[in-house]
Amino acid sequence: MIKHISPKLRIILLLLICVAGVRFLLMPLYDWQEQTQTRISVLQKSILRLDGLEKNRQQLEATYNEVGERLKNMEEYFQADITTPESLQLKAQQILEQMVAESGISSQGMNWSYVNVGQLLIRTPLRITFQSTVDQFYDFMYRVETYPQLFTIDSLQVTKFKNDKVSGVMDITAYALNTAANKGK
């Protein structure tokens, strides 16, 4: 049957087969290639984003570990094993009474102020009224300021008498980490 077809028709038929081949074979192949390249491009962008997220995660983890180490180092400056404001007051009073006895000042009273319980710290202020010699007073201040755990002298009112005696009022604050509030974190 193909032998009976004229050469013009053969050429037209051949052209139609080529066009159909291009249309139904090559075009889908090019479309598939383009779609694959688009998917590859999207995946490469996703990989770059994931790499960036992984770097951020590693940086955050390193920062978190560093903060944890710093917090552990910072804990030595605060009263240990304190879970309530009352336990901080008791511990601070025992320490300060020992300092008063060791320095030789005469305490005429210790009055606690309002306890401030924050997210990270428990802060409890105390007012001490005292009489002493100047040397005893300096010794007491030195003991408070150099004590390994954190005490601060917030205010001080001193009156000096002629006979090398002083009397005054000192506001001291003791600090502890709020371990009860931070246990779940």
What percent of the chain clears pLDDT 90, i.e. is strictly above it? 25
Output DSSP code: residue 115.
-
Q: Give the type of residue at 132.
A: S
Name the pTM for this structure.
0.58
**pLDDT, tens digit, for every residue of 88-132?**
888 888 888 999 999 999 888 888 888 888 877 888 899 999 999
Beta carbons of 166 and 131 less than 8 angstroms apart: yes
Query: Could you say which DSSP state residue 175 is in?
Result: E
Average pLDDT over residues 57-74: 86
